[in-house]
Amino acid sequence: MRRLGRWVVAAVVLLLGRGQRPRELPPPEPVVGGAAPAPKAELLVIGLLILSAAFAVAFVVVYAGGADTQLLGLALGLCFALLAVASVVTAFRLAPPEEAEEPYPEPSHPTEIAEVEQIVVESGRHLTRGKLLGLAAGGAGTALGLALLAPVASLGPVFDTSRLRREPWRRGVRLVDAEGRVLRAEDIELDTLHTAFPEGADPENLASPIVVVRLEPVRLDLPPDRSNWAPAGILAYSKICTHAGCAVSLYRAPHYEPTRPRPALVCPCHYSTFDPATGGTVIFGPAGRPLPQLPLAVGPEGELIALGGFSGAVGPSWSGVRE
């Protein structure tokens, strides 16, 4: 009887439910609110990123060409401005508007999911707007990184550091002034500072400029191996200060020796002071080593010529300066 009763209840339920339309379940709410497709906005962002990369490359080209800072600032400014506009368009037109806090549902149809993943992989082989957008963003980032790293090359040679130790001075090179006139021994007077360069060499070379002064021979107290480096009391030293690379452009000549210090070469940047009579030794200031001295001789016609290279490396010393 109990089994018969169950069959009767089932039959009644089937009769009552027949003819009614099945209720459709509401679609599941998305976990992440999707943004409406915006192909024009994507193309705009791609164009902005490409232009930004172009201006970053232009910055590197202009910098390598030695152009003025106005063009450099214009190129870098436009690069950042285009990147900013691309970011704003991406935020308002391409990024999803909202995110829900519900977790992602567990996959319930692994077969269908595998088919969808296969379709995505196959479609990814073609150049889509999304892939082009990623390439443009990567190119813009790479170009901007190169533009920001380009000024590092100005700190010094990257691949060939040996040229920092090269110098145009060698035996027999004549001394000339800024106009290219050959300096003679008779042109160098007491208490006067002269700037000279090697004849026929690049005056912009770090080791090219020297300072030439004349002291009374009785004042000289040079090292023994430099006894013949100062003919008639004429001495030459590198013009580049050994502290920070500024130009040694001042000469202290006492007018009343009982109360004034002895003659000296002075760098105006940090007041490193060098004694020309003792081989350019430091007597005041932050410089850590003497000025490199250039050996001189007087030629057959009275011209000043070099007997060789400097006594030491030209330029500042950044480590171990007191050793």
Q: 14-45 burial, b for 16+ CB within 10 Å, e for fewer?
A: eeeeeeeeeeeeeeeeeeeeeeeeeeebbebb
Would the pLDDT of 255 be above 70?
no
Hey, what are 217's tokens? 């021979």
| Domain co-membership, 265 together with 218 | yes
| pLDDT confidence bin for 145, thresholds 50/70/90 | confident
Would the pLDDT of 17 be above 60?
no
The pLDDT of residue 215: 92
Query: Which tens digit of pLDDT belongs to each residue from 185-208?
Result: 999 998 889 999 999 888 888 889
Residue 2 lies in a domain: no
The pLDDT of residue 73: 85
Query: Which tens digit of pLDDT belongs to each residue from 46-103?
Result: 888 888 888 888 888 888 877 677 888 888 888 888 888 888 888 787 766 665 556 6
Give residue 53's domain range.
35-99+111-155
Q: Which of 14-18, 143-147, 199-203 has the lowest mean pLDDT?
A: 14-18
Mean pLDDT for the stretch of residues 132-154? 78
The pLDDT of residue 121: 58
Residue 11 lies in a domain: no
| Domain co-membership, 74 together with 130 | yes
Residue 124 lies in a domain: yes
The pLDDT of residue 245: 87
| Domain co-membership, 177 together with 301 | yes
Boundary of a domain, candidates 88, 121, 155: 155
Residue 37 or residue 33, greater confidence? 37
Hey, what are 302's tokens? 């009275």
Boundary of a domain, candidates 121, 155, 189: 155
Q: pTM higher than 0.75 for the full model?
A: no
Number of domains in the chain: 2
| Domain co-membership, 276 together with 224 | yes
Residue 106 lies in a domain: no
| Domain co-membership, 134 together with 193 | no
Hey, what are 119's tokens? 């379709």
| Domain co-membership, 176 together with 132 | no
Q: Are 279 and 311 contacting, i.e. CB atoms less than 8 angstroms apart?
A: yes
CA atoms within 13 A on the CB side of 55: 18
Residue 198 or residue 34, greater confidence? 198
β pairing state of 296-298 and 98-99: unpaired
Dihedral pair phi/psi, residue 283, rounded to 5°: -115, -10
Average pLDDT score, the chain: 79
| Domain co-membership, 123 together with 185 | no
Residue 266 or residue 71, greater confidence? 266
| Domain co-membership, 190 together with 294 | yes
Residue 105 lies in a domain: no
Rounded CA-CA distance 292/248 in Å is 12
Residue 191 lies in a domain: yes
| Domain co-membership, 123 together with 169 | no
Rounded CA-CA distance 315/241 in Å is 6
Which CATH number fits the domain that encloses residue 189? 2.102.10.10
Mean pLDDT for the stretch of residues 260-289? 90
Dihedral pair phi/psi, residue 235, rounded to 5°: -120, 150
Q: Which of 68-72, 92-96, 112-116, 160-164 has the lowest mean pLDDT?
A: 160-164
Q: Which of 129-138, 217-226, 230-239, 309-318 has the lowest mean pLDDT?
A: 129-138
How do the residues of the chain divide into helix, strand and coil, expressed in percent and rounded to 5?
Answer: 40, 15, 45
Would the pLDDT of 117 be above 80?
no
Residue 275 DSSP class: E
| Domain co-membership, 178 together with 297 | yes
Residue 299 lies in a domain: yes
Burial class for 248, CB neighbours closer than 10 Å (0-12, 13-18, 19+): buried
Residue 207 lies in a domain: yes
Could you identify the residue written with the tokens 């590197």?
A: 60
| Domain co-membership, 242 together with 174 | yes
| Domain co-membership, 169 together with 64 | no
Residue 309 or residue 93, greater confidence? 309
